[in-house]
Structure 1
Amino acid sequence: MTPRGGGRGFRSRLQAVPGVRAVSTYRREWLLKDLVAGAVLTTLLVPQGMAYAELAGLPSITGLYTTILCLLGYAVCGPSRILVLGPDSSLGPMIAATVLPLVASGGDPDRAVALASMLAVMVAGIMILASVAKLGFIADLVSKPTMIGYMNGLALTILIGQLPKLLGFKVEADNLIGECVGVVEKVADGAVVPAAAAVGLGGIVLILLLQRFLPKVPAVLVMVVLAIAAAGAFDLGEHGVGLVGVLPAGFPPFTVPDVRLGDLAPLFAGALGIALVSLADTISNASAFAARTGQEVRGNQEMAGVGVANLAAALFQGFPVSTSGSRTAVAERAGARSQLTGVVGAGLIVLMLVLAPGLFRNLPQPALAAVVITASLSLADVPGAARLWHQRRTEFLLCCAAFAGVALLGVLQGIAIAVALSVLNVFRRAWWPYNTVLGRVPGLEGYHDIRSYPRAGQLPGLVVYRFDAPLFFANAKTFRDQVRRLAGADPRPAWIVIAAEPMTDVDTTAADVLADLDEELNAEGVHLVFAELKDPVRRKIERYELTRTIDPDHFFPTVEAAVTAFRLRTGADWTPGPRPPGAVQPPDASRPPDASPPHGTSPPPTDGR
């Protein structure tokens, strides 16, 4: 007998499934809009799915299988109402870089499909586990400058890699430089197929023009239809142009990926990189479209939804997928209101495979290359890199390093370099944080950076010093050396007041360094004084027993309180800072002026690095 209330518990758990919740809250007035949006979306899903499958080194039909199942999987478990998933141009090269080395030259396509499907299983597992562990913050491991560099390198890699297909020949190479050399040699040897080049280059120009001047027109669909018509009218297959051919008919069969045990380790390494890029894409796209539709972003649910979509694709001969900003934008512009749009798209693709598998048999391969190349151009952000050059050179160098990693070492190595550079940049900022001496500025409350205000007043015998980072093992010696330098000034200060508000932590290594430093300074008649130390950090200092060396009376709630205590003990009075060349010395710099700085002026930045 079912316990009373058990039915309600089951229903509440069922309602927690996003797809069930979407059905129960569906509005009748959305139906027509979703049906129309689904039909419009399909015109983009089919050519892009086929093109991105070939970009991943897989048969074009697997792109359609992947599209169908990932849309259905996300419709059940994805929280976003309109986010569209599918094969992605940024993942294609990563899939190829992982799978193709495991497949011998000219190897079995079925083995490549099985490896790609197992890769999708691993990506699904990583995403679902990350969702359960609430690890959505991992997407933040890649900073924007390194991601710009990675995407620029990826765009260049895709562009060069698609040129042979665009121009009608093949190039055997293992890296970007080899591909560039191969393309140049083939062009010089006259290997270009004129008809293929005309279709490919014409397709790129047509897509870019339509996207620029008629953004509401489905540019990819128009180009594909014209390319198919041209192939039939001019018999392009007889002029050396590769065609897609008739696709296998019917719904994809349920297939458990069968791979060798030795393939699992390299597949897992690739899955980690793919999962990271997919996670970053998912969070950024979900945030962007949620802000426009008034939805709340559920990062962990999004990861679970993408994980289920990957698993569904993997069990039907698919490969890893991610969210797509371009396809989601198409669905949104077409009036999509729910995931029924994606379900309609998946259903129409199934109907095409069952009823008209030969619909795209005359689609030229250069047209697919044109689709991929135009997609790669949207990945690149050259203005973003130029902006970094003008705004912050160190981050521009990070961008260039990530770009070089992708271009010279490969896409998987490039994402590893991007993550490593981002983490190292965070560590560098904590290792060598900004630090400065503070002084009193006439007309401004508080204490301010003397680099920004060279005339800031100082108290003889006292230095106010700010170190803008938590104290931990990596930067404790940097802090010690800076304080030693201040203590060795002539005349020697009696107090060095640490403006400790930025110090959010002190670890045991830093505590030992502080203890030794305080004893060393005390022997020289200099005392360390702390102001604005956070309560949790103060409790750690007491737990480390640092108050045995640092006088408990040398902890103050504010810098002003510490300065006031010093003045009461010593009778010191303010003196002006160094006078800038050409400046006029005021009659009494120790007395605060009556006027504030001129209206509209602002201090220079305190951190110019």
Structure 2
Amino acid sequence: MKHWSCWLPGLDTLRRYQAAWLPHDVFAGLALATMLVPVGIAYAEASGLPGIYGLYATIIPLLVYALFGPSRILVLGPDSALAAVILGAVVPLSGGDPLRTVALAGMMAIVSGTVCILAGVLRLGFVTELLSKPIRYGYMNGIALTVLVSQLPKLFGFSIESDGLLRSVWATGRAILEGRTNWVAFGIGLGTLIVILLLQINKRLPGILIAVVGATLVVGALDLGPRYGVTVLGPLPEGLPGFAVPRIGYDDIWPVIIGGCAVALISFADTSVLSRAFAARLGTQADPNQEMVALGAANLATGFFQGFPISSSSSRTPVAEAAGARTQLTNVVGALAIALLLLAAPNLLRHLPNAALAAVVIAAAIGLFEVTDLKRIYRIQQWEFWLSIVCFAGVAVLGVIPGIGLAIAIAIAEFLWDGWRPHSAVLGRADRVKGYHDITRYPDARQIPGLVLFRWDAPLFFANAEFFKERVMDAVAKSPTPVRWLVVAAEPVTSVDVTAGDTLARLDETLHAQGIELRFAELKDPVKDKLKTFGLLAQLGENSFFPTVGVAVSAYLENNSDVEWEDWEDQVDR
């Protein structure tokens, strides 16, 4: 059990804080804040919430993660990968009421935070590793496309009423053809997007800040809002977020729970990958379980302070690193700078055009797409590539949350399939090659008369036990000589459950009825202990187990002296 102080890495950092780090952390925090403000507002709008709540969902997580987070430079806040999930969950339930939308999003954050904290305390940080890379690519590409499409109307200067990716594409296309595009707004949005994408080449330049400030100055100086109908953010409410318990109806509980769990899965998968990457770069040790606790605490807190679900950021964390961040004090400074903006200058961003905010989100969505590695996967293993495409199509067609559910179902099916129908082999002795090998890989390998060496390359459990028995009996039937012994080369067998144990007992009886003895080689001690518990050790006998395949072969030849067999190593010795 961890000591209580281990759950609060920020306190340990504070105890060991060096004065020389302070200028670096303060500068990095101020630099970070300049990026956090427009990004927070943009991702709130993309999630279906008023922009101010994006700043609320930035301040609180930064402060909480500074206390609970194990990484010294990881930055948490609103994230483009979550925008489509939040939007898909809260908009259909809110009925167009902004306050209801905020309450639903806040409760999603509380659900997500609770799930993450429980998983971290129970040390389930490995769970997201069960999603294979192609599956993660598939649903993230689907989310990226959904986010991108959702921002196109705002980029073109109009609004649409639609639900789902395909309907949004149709409604957007129809609006463009009907001439509803505001070309001034589109020009501002497109220009902002181009500047962001061009400046991304140089990681040290605050591309988002430069593009957004430029767009805001142009709109304000030329008075483009009233003159040309360019919609702008408007003045932000003055003040800091207050404590509030989100209240939702009974009919909303199940959709919010599902959405919160989906957010927890995505946010921790991203945070886990990002924390490991930066830990490796900084030469520190990643702690996935503490990351889950910290992420959960940040979500839980922001849910009670008028925020919405958040995650780590692969775009803002490098900004903190490049600006010279030494510790999580950088996040604290960034949070305080945003709080000061809300208290002292809430009108500073009133001319910020919505088209520019859409450009910020679209640029982030473009960064979510994974194409290069999918090309590599297509070259080396096409079925995993198509698995990724199915997950992508699931998110695109069914919606984000059902699509993620489909991805999880496919991941479980993929995992079970590998164990359900594993590889097995009959082994033989190939000349001049040490050991015993798959006869399909070594066609010239000889089988010892009357002996079948059968290797099973997986744990034995309920889903594959009958298949194991079928493969064994098939190996017996295809033996070139009448079988006396069947030896299972069991080194890959890491576990046996009750169902498989009962199947082994029946297999032994079936083989015994045919005059065949069942033996095991290289069986691991923990697995052997299980067989003893199941009563199989007594049924088979202690002399049925051998430390290696070679010892099992020697025992077989010793007990069957009439078998004619000369090993190639014996020929060499002569």
- Over 3 Å counting, the alpha-carbon distance change for 1:551 and 1:82 in structure 2 is same
Match of 1:63 among 54, 58, 72: 54
Which range is displaced more, 143-152 or 234-243? 234-243
Which range is displaced more, 531-540 or 44-53? 531-540
Residues of 2 paired with 1:189 and 1:530: CA distance? Answer: 75
Residue 33 (structure 1) aligned with residue 21 (structure 2): no
Residues of 2 paired with 1:113 and 1:592: CA distance? Answer: 81
Structure 2 residue matching 1:465: 3-state secondary structure: strand
- What are the within-5 Å matches in structure 2 for residues 433-582 of structure 1? 433-489=422-478, 490-547=480-537, 549-568=539-558, 569-573=560-564
1:54 match: 45
CA contact (8 A) 2:7 2:290 kept: no
Structure 2 residue matching 1:336: 3-state secondary structure: coil
1:96 match: 87
Structure 1 residue matching 2:315: 3-state secondary structure: helix
CA contact (8 A) 2:29 2:334 kept: yes
Q: Deviation at 1:548?
A: 5.4
Identity %: 48
Q: Deviation at 1:426?
A: 0.9
Letter in 2 for 1:49: G
Structure 1 residue matching 2:364: 3-state secondary structure: helix
1:295 match: 284
Residues of 2 paired with 1:517 and 1:316: CA distance? Answer: 62
Q: Deviation at 1:69?
A: 1.0
- What are the within-5 Å matches in structure 2 for residues 302-321 of structure 1? 302-321=291-310
Which range is displaced more, 185-194 or 440-449? 440-449
CA contact (8 A) 2:426 2:475 kept: no
1:269 match: 258
- Over 3 Å counting, the alpha-carbon distance change for 1:148 and 1:575 in structure 2 is farther
Which range is displaced more, 316-325 or 544-553? 544-553
CA contact (8 A) 1:73 1:312 kept: yes
Residue 150 (structure 1) aligned with residue 139 (structure 2): yes
Residues of 2 paired with 1:512 and 1:345: CA distance? Answer: 62
Q: Deviation at 1:592?
A: 6.7
Residue 228 (structure 1) aligned with residue 193 (structure 2): no
Residues of 2 paired with 1:47 and 1:560: CA distance? Answer: 68
Q: Deviation at 1:543?
A: 2.7
Residues of 2 paired with 1:592 and 1:143: CA distance? Answer: 49
CA contact (8 A) 1:442 1:592 kept: no
Residues of 2 paired with 1:592 and 1:210: CA distance? Answer: 72
Residue 118 (structure 1) aligned with residue 96 (structure 2): no
How big is the alpha-carbon RMSD for the aligned residues of Structure 1 and Structure 2? 2.0
Letter in 2 for 1:199: I
Q: Deviation at 1:394?
A: 2.7
Q: Deviation at 1:539?
A: 2.4
1:336 match: 325
Residues of 1 paired with 2:369 and 2:52: CA distance? Answer: 27
2:124 match: 135
1:6 match: none
Q: Deviation at 1:126?
A: 1.6
- Over 3 Å counting, the alpha-carbon distance change for 1:457 and 1:562 in structure 2 is same
Residue 166 (structure 1) aligned with residue 175 (structure 2): no
Letter in 1 for 2:312: T
Deviations 1:239-285 (A, max 9, x none): 13211111111222222222223322221111111111112122111
Letter in 1 for 2:68: C
CA contact (8 A) 2:80 2:361 kept: yes
Residues of 2 paired with 1:192 and 1:379: CA distance? Answer: 27
CA contact (8 A) 2:7 2:68 kept: no
- Over 3 Å counting, the alpha-carbon distance change for 1:221 and 1:564 in structure 2 is same
Letter in 2 for 1:236: L
Scaled by the length of structure 2, what TM-score is found? 0.95
Q: Deviation at 1:15?
A: 7.8
Residues of 2 paired with 1:549 and 1:125: CA distance? Answer: 49
Q: Deviation at 1:86?
A: 0.3
Residues of 2 paired with 1:258 and 1:550: CA distance? Answer: 63
Q: Deviation at 1:294?
A: 2.2
CA contact (8 A) 1:241 1:364 kept: yes
Letter in 1 for 2:8: V
Structure 2 residue matching 1:251: 3-state secondary structure: coil
Residues of 2 paired with 1:593 and 1:397: CA distance? Answer: 51
Scaled by the length of structure 1, what TM-score is found? 0.89
Letter in 1 for 2:494: T
Match of 2:11 among 20, 30, 49: 20
Residues of 2 paired with 1:14 and 1:543: CA distance? Answer: 42
Residues of 1 paired with 2:6 and 2:437: CA distance? Answer: 56
Residues of 2 paired with 1:289 and 1:220: CA distance? Answer: 22
Residues of 2 paired with 1:592 and 1:365: CA distance? Answer: 84
- Over 3 Å counting, the alpha-carbon distance change for 1:542 and 1:304 in structure 2 is closer
Residue 362 (structure 1) aligned with residue 351 (structure 2): yes
Structure 1 residue matching 2:126: 3-state secondary structure: helix
Letter in 1 for 2:167: G
Letter in 1 for 2:330: T
Deviations 1:273-313 (A, max 9, x none): 11111121221111111111222222222222222212222
Structure 1 residue matching 2:263: 3-state secondary structure: helix
Structure 2 residue matching 1:57: 3-state secondary structure: coil
Letter in 1 for 2:44: A
Letter in 2 for 1:25: R
Residues of 2 paired with 1:449 and 1:552: CA distance? Answer: 27
Deviations 1:467-506 (A, max 9, x none): 1111111111111111111111243322221101111222
Letter in 2 for 1:222: I
Aligned length: 568
Letter in 2 for 1:82: I
Letter in 2 for 1:232: G
Deviations 1:434-482 (A, max 9, x none): 1111222333322222232222232122221111111111111111111
Q: Deviation at 1:590?
A: 8.2
Residues of 1 paired with 2:551 and 2:76: CA distance? Answer: 58
Q: Deviation at 1:92?
A: 1.2
Q: Which runs of 5+ in 2 are unaligned?
A: none
Letter in 1 for 2:435: G
Match of 2:181 among 158, 167, 192: 192
Which range is displaced more, 305-314 or 161-170? 305-314
Residues of 1 paired with 2:6 and 2:531: CA distance? Answer: 50
Deviations 1:11-70 (A, max 9, x none): x85686323222211110011111111111111101110010011100000001110111
2:33 match: 42
Residue 419 (structure 1) aligned with residue 396 (structure 2): no
Letter in 2 for 1:385: L
Letter in 2 for 1:409: L
1:602 match: none
CA contact (8 A) 2:120 2:293 kept: yes
